[in-house]
Structure 1
Amino acid sequence: MRLGLRLLFAFFLINGIAAFFILRVFTAEIKPSVREVMEDMMVDTANILAELASDEVASGRMRLALPGPESDSTFARSVRRYATRPIDASIWGLSKQSLDFRIYVVDTSGRVIFDSEGRAEGMDYSRWRDVALTLRGKYGARASRDVESDDSSGVMYVAAPIFSGDRIIGALTVAKPTRTVQRFIERAERKIMKGGVLLLALSALVGIAVTLWIVWHVRRLRDYALSVQAPTALQSTPPAVPEVPGELGDLARAMDRMRERLEGRDYVEGYVRALTHELKSPVAAIRGAGELLQEDLPPADRAQFAAQVVEQSERLQRVIDRLLELSKLEQRQHVDPAAPTSLRQCAQQAVLQCSARAAQRHVRLVLQGEGASGPWEADLITLAVGNLIDNAIDFSPEGGTVRVSLQGASITVDDEGPGVPEYALPRLGERFFTTARPDGARSGSGLGLAIVRRVLDLHDGAWDMANTHPGFSIRLHLSKK
C-alpha cells in the first residue's frame, strides 16, 4: 500500500473513532442534561407554589370538594385559570402554545385535596415517591409513564413540602410531561449531528491536504534521490536540493551531503578505471618498442620503433591533456561570460588552432557564416569547436574538406569521412568511447566529444548528429539565455 493511502487510512480511522465516541457522548448527554435543567426549574416552581398554598392548606380553605369557583380556594382558582391561559411563545425558533404544568396538593395523609386537572382528587398518593419522601422531610421526585409501554409518555414529578410554622402539613407536586422538552432535545441532537458531519468533512479535507503535502514532499525527495548519480559527461549540472520544511528539509540536506561524498568517490573510481583501460595500450606499445630498441636492429627497424614510441607518447599526452580539461569542466556548475561572445570569433580561433594539424593531414578547413553573439564563455566555445574540428580531421580522407558553418546560435561541423555506425550514435559523448578511424587505427580516446557535451551542458545547449553519406555532421545549439 502506498504511503499516501496508508496516511489517509490511519487518519480517517483515528478521526472516525474519535468522532464516533465524541458524538456518542454528546448525544447521550443531551437528554439527561435537559431533564436535569427541567427538574431544577420544577424544584423552584414547586417551592414557590407550596409557599403560596400554605396559608389556605393550614386554614382549611383548600379542601377536597367538587370543582367550582364557589367552593375552590383562591389558589385553586388561580391554578385553573393558569391552565386555560392562551399562550403563543416562540422559544429559540420553536413554538409553544400550551401550558404543561400539572399541580396537585396532598394533605398529611397523602390524600389528594387538589388537582389542577381534576382527575386525582380524593385519591391516596401516599405511596408515590414524590409524596412519601416529601412528607417525611426529604427531597421527593419521581418519573413515571402515563402509558407503561410508551417511553414518550413519561412525566416528571417534583414535590415541595407545605409548612405551617415548622410542621409539614402537606405537599405540593408539580408535574411536567417529558415530551414537552423532547423537541428541544431532538433539535439539539440534529444540530450536533450536523456539526459532527461538518467536523468530519472538514477533518477529511484537512487530512487529505496534509497527506498530499507530505506525499508531495516525500516524492520530491524520492525523485531527488533517484536523480543523484556520479557526474558523467552525459549528465548536466547536479539536481537542485528540494526545498522542503522541517525534518524533511534536514533529510534533503543530508542526502545532498551524501551525494557529494558519493560523487567524489565514484568520480575518482570511474576516472581511474577508465584511465587505466585507456593507458594500457599505449604503455604496452611503448614498453614493447623500448625492449626491442635495446637490441641490435637495422636502422630502418630502429627508426620505426622510435617513431612508435613518439606516437604513443603523443597519444598519452593528448589523453592526459583532455582528461585535465574534462575534469575542470565537470567541476564547474555554470559559465562566466565576461561579455557577449561572437560565435564567429570563437570559430576563427578554433580553425586557427587546428590549421597546422589539418595541413599535416592535407585536409582543407572552411569557415562560413557569421553566427550570433550571446552570453557564452568564449574559451569554452572555442574549446568545443576545436575538439569537433580535431575529430573531423581524424575521420576525413586525405584531400578532404571540413566545413564549419555558423547560423544564429548554431554551429555545424561537417566532414567527408565514412561516418559513424548507427549503433554508436547514442553513445557518442561518453568518456573513452570511440570508433575506428578510416585507416583502421583506434587512436582516439572519446574525450573530445565528452568535452563538447560538457560545454553544451554548461550553456544549457544540445546537439544533433547524423551521417551524411559520405561524411558526418554534428550541430551544436546554444541557449540564448
Structure 2
Amino acid sequence: MKISLKIFLGYFLLVGLSGWFVLTVFVDEVKPGVRQAMEDTLVDTARLLAQLAKEDLKQGNIQHGIFARGLSDYQQMPGVASIWGIPKRTADYHVYITDHKGIVVFDSKHESEGQDYSRWNDVYLTLNHKYGARTTPVDQAKPDGETVMYVAAPITDNGKLIGVLTVAKSNGTMQPFILHAQAKIMRWGLLLLVLSLCLGMLFTWRFTRAIHRLRDYAIAVSKGKKAVAPNSSNDELAELAQAMKTMREELDGHQHVQEAIHQLTHELKSPLTAIQAAMELMTPEMPEQDRAKFLNSIKIQANRLHQMVQNILGLAALEQQQALTHPISIDLSDLVEQQLQLIQDRANQRNIKLLATLDPSLSIEGDAFLCGQAISNLLENALDFSPDNSHIQIDLSRSGQTVQLKIMDRGSGIPDYALDKITEKFYSLPRPANTPRAGQKSTGLGLNFVQQIMSLHHGHVTVINAATQGVLATLSWRV
C-alpha cells in the first residue's frame, strides 16, 4: 500500500472517529439542553403567575376572577409567532392551582377541580417549602413515550403559604425545535467532515508530492543525471533534501577523483612512452645533431606532462567550486589588453598581427584571474592554429544584456568530426604544419577549463568555424 494512501486512510479514520464522537455528543446534548431551557422558562412563568393569582385565591374567587378570565383569553388568542421558522399556533401551557392542603381549586382545562394533588411531587415539595417539579408520561402504559413537565411555585400572603400554582407543558412541543437543532448540527457536522477530508487530501497530496520529488531526485542521481535538489516548506523534508544533496556532492567528488585519475593515467601514457623511447634510442656514439633532436623531444614531452598535471589539478578544483567566493568588478578592456601583451612577442616572431577593437566602458562582476585564464586559453589556441604572416581579430562589445569577446583566427578551421568534441577533456587536435608546433597536441584541457570558468560566471563559450576562414571563439557574459 502506498504511503499516500496510508496517510489518507489514517487521517480519514481519525477525522471520522472524531467527527462521529463530536456529533454524537452534540446530538445527545440537544434534547436535555432544550428541556433544561424549557424548565428554566417554566420556573419563571410559574412564579409570575403565582403572584398574579394571589389576590383571587385570597378572596376565594380563583375560578371566576381576573386571573381565570385573563388566562382563558390568552388560551383563545391565535398564534402569531414563528420560532426558528417553526410556527406557534396555540397556547401550550396547562395551569392548575391547589390550596394549602393540595386540593385542586383551579384547572385551566376544567378537568381536575376538587382532586387531591398533595402527593404529586410538584405540589408535595412546594408545600414543604422545596422546589417542586415532576415529569410524567402522557400515557402511563408507555413510560418511554411523550412526557409532560410540571413546575410549581408557592402562592404566599405575608409569608404564609396559601396555595401552589403549577404550570405544565408537554415536552412534545419542543420536539420540532430539537429536530431542527439536530438537523442543523448534522448538516454543519457533515460539511465540516467533508471540508476536513478535502484538507486531508490536500495535505496528503502536498506531503507525498514532496516525497515523490525526493524519490525522483534520488533516481536521477543514481542514473548519473544532472538534477537540482528539491526544496520543501516542511523542515524535516528540507533537511532530508539537503542531506541527499550533500551525499550527492560527496559521491560526485569521489567519482570525479576516480575519473580524473583514470583519464590522467590514460593521457600520461603518450608523453611517457615518447620520453622512454627517446631515452632508449640515445647512445654515446649518436651524432650530436640526433642527440639534440631527442633531447628536444624529451623536453617537449616533459613540459607537456607538467602542463597536463597543472591543468587537470586546476580543472578539478574548478569543477568542485559551486559559486564565486569574492566577485569583483572587472574592466574587461584592461583584462584583454593584459592577455594580449603576454602573447605579443610570440605573435611578432611569426609576423601575426593582433587587431583589437575593445569597448573601454564594459565591465562585469566576477573573478579576474579566472576570466584572464579563459581569455588567455582562447588567445593561445588562436595563435597556435594561425599561419605565419596572418592576423587575429579581437572584438569586445555589448549586445543587449550580454558582453561578448570574439577571437577569430585565419587558420584552417576545425574538422567537422571534431566540432562537437573540442570541449571534451583531453581531446586535442594536432597543430597545423605551417606553425612552430606542427603535429603536436595540447593537453586537451584548455577549452573544458574555459567552459567551466564561464559556467561559474553564468556565461558560456562557443567555438565554431568562421564564415570565411579560420575559427571564431566567443566568450559571453550576462550583465
1:65 alignment partner in structure 2: none
Report the AA paired with residue 184 of structure 1: F
Task: Return 5+ residue gaps in structure 1 as ranges.
Answer: 63-68, 164-169
**Inter-partner Cα distance in structure 1 for 2:133 and 2:81:** 32
2:460 alignment partner in structure 1: 462
Q: Say if 2:213 and 2:230, in contact at 8 Å, map to a contact too.
A: no
Q: Deviations over 1:372-426 (max 9, x none)?
A: 520254433332122112223444456665433333221122332241435x544
Asked whether 1:421 is paired with 2:416, we answer yes
Report the AA paired with residue 453 of structure 1: Q
SS of corresponding position for 1:14: helix
Q: Say if 2:355 and 2:391, in contact at 8 Å, map to a contact too.
A: no
1:374 alignment partner in structure 2: 363
Report the AA paired with residue 442 of structure 2: G
Aligned counterpart for 2:240 among listed residues 251, 264, 273:
251
TM-score between the two structures when normalised by the length of structure 2:
0.70
**Inter-partner Cα distance in structure 1 for 2:382 and 2:141:** 109
188-197 vs 171-180, which deviates more? 171-180
The alpha-carbon distance between structure 1 residues 367 and 337, as it changes in their structure 2 partners (threshold 3 A), is: farther
Q: Deviations over 1:211-243 (max 9, x none)?
A: 5765676677678778989x9xx99xx979958
SS of corresponding position for 2:475: strand
1:448 Cα deviation after fit: 0.5
**Inter-partner Cα distance in structure 1 for 2:233 and 2:29:** 45
**Inter-partner Cα distance in structure 2 for 1:322 and 1:374:** 27
Aligned counterpart for 1:98 among listed residues 90, 100, 122:
90
1:46-85, aligned counterparts within 5 Å?
80-85=72-77
1:319 Cα deviation after fit: 0.9
**Inter-partner Cα distance in structure 1 for 2:259 and 2:87:** 88
Q: Say if 2:364 and 2:477, in contact at 8 Å, map to a contact too.
A: no
Q: Say if 1:133 and 1:139, in contact at 8 Å, map to a contact too.
A: yes
Asked whether 1:282 is paired with 2:271, we answer yes
Report the AA paired with residue 292 of structure 1: L
**Inter-partner Cα distance in structure 2 for 1:387 and 1:197:** 73
Report the AA paired with residue 450 of structure 1: N
Aligned counterpart for 2:185 among listed residues 170, 180, 192:
192
Q: Say if 1:155 and 1:175, in contact at 8 Å, map to a contact too.
A: no
**Inter-partner Cα distance in structure 1 for 2:421 and 2:13:** 53
2:129 alignment partner in structure 1: none
1:181 alignment partner in structure 2: 174
Asked whether 1:364 is paired with 2:362, we answer no
SS of corresponding position for 2:309: helix
1:453 Cα deviation after fit: 1.2
The alpha-carbon distance between structure 1 residues 476 and 10, as it changes in their structure 2 partners (threshold 3 A), is: farther
**Inter-partner Cα distance in structure 1 for 2:429 and 2:386:** 14
Asked whether 1:434 is paired with 2:424, we answer no
The alpha-carbon distance between structure 1 residues 125 and 277, as it changes in their structure 2 partners (threshold 3 A), is: farther
TM-score between the two structures when normalised by the length of structure 1:
0.70
1:457 Cα deviation after fit: 2.0
Asked whether 1:479 is paired with 2:468, we answer no
SS of corresponding position for 1:366: strand
1:183 Cα deviation after fit: 3.7
The alpha-carbon distance between structure 1 residues 278 and 400, as it changes in their structure 2 partners (threshold 3 A), is: farther
1:312 Cα deviation after fit: 1.2
Asked whether 1:322 is paired with 2:311, we answer yes
Q: Say if 2:353 and 2:391, in contact at 8 Å, map to a contact too.
A: yes
**Inter-partner Cα distance in structure 2 for 1:13 and 1:60:** 68
Q: Say if 1:162 and 1:171, in contact at 8 Å, map to a contact too.
A: yes
The alpha-carbon distance between structure 1 residues 47 and 276, as it changes in their structure 2 partners (threshold 3 A), is: same
**Inter-partner Cα distance in structure 2 for 1:442 and 1:25:** 92
Q: Deviations over 1:453-476 (max 9, x none)?
A: 122123221223323475332211
**Inter-partner Cα distance in structure 2 for 1:104 and 1:421:** 116
Report the AA paired with residue 276 of structure 1: T
1:21 alignment partner in structure 2: 21
**Inter-partner Cα distance in structure 1 for 2:116 and 2:412:** 125
RMSD across aligned positions (CA): 5.3
**Inter-partner Cα distance in structure 1 for 2:426 and 2:307:** 12
1:107-256, aligned counterparts within 5 Å?
116-118=108-110, 140-144=134-138, 154-158=146-150, 175-196=168-189, 199-200=192-193, 203=196, 207=200, 210=203, 214=207, 244=233, 246-255=235-244
The alpha-carbon distance between structure 1 residues 176 and 286, as it changes in their structure 2 partners (threshold 3 A), is: same
The alpha-carbon distance between structure 1 residues 24 and 296, as it changes in their structure 2 partners (threshold 3 A), is: farther
Report the AA paired with residue 358 of structure 2: E
The alpha-carbon distance between structure 1 residues 204 and 425, as it changes in their structure 2 partners (threshold 3 A), is: farther
Q: Say if 2:122 and 2:150, in contact at 8 Å, map to a contact too.
A: no
SS of corresponding position for 2:478: coil
132-141 vs 322-331, which deviates more? 132-141
Query: In percent, how many aligned pairs have the same letter?
Result: 34
SS of corresponding position for 2:358: coil
**Inter-partner Cα distance in structure 2 for 1:324 and 1:135:** 108
Q: Say if 1:112 and 1:122, in contact at 8 Å, map to a contact too.
A: yes
**Inter-partner Cα distance in structure 2 for 1:2 and 1:393:** 63
1:167 alignment partner in structure 2: none
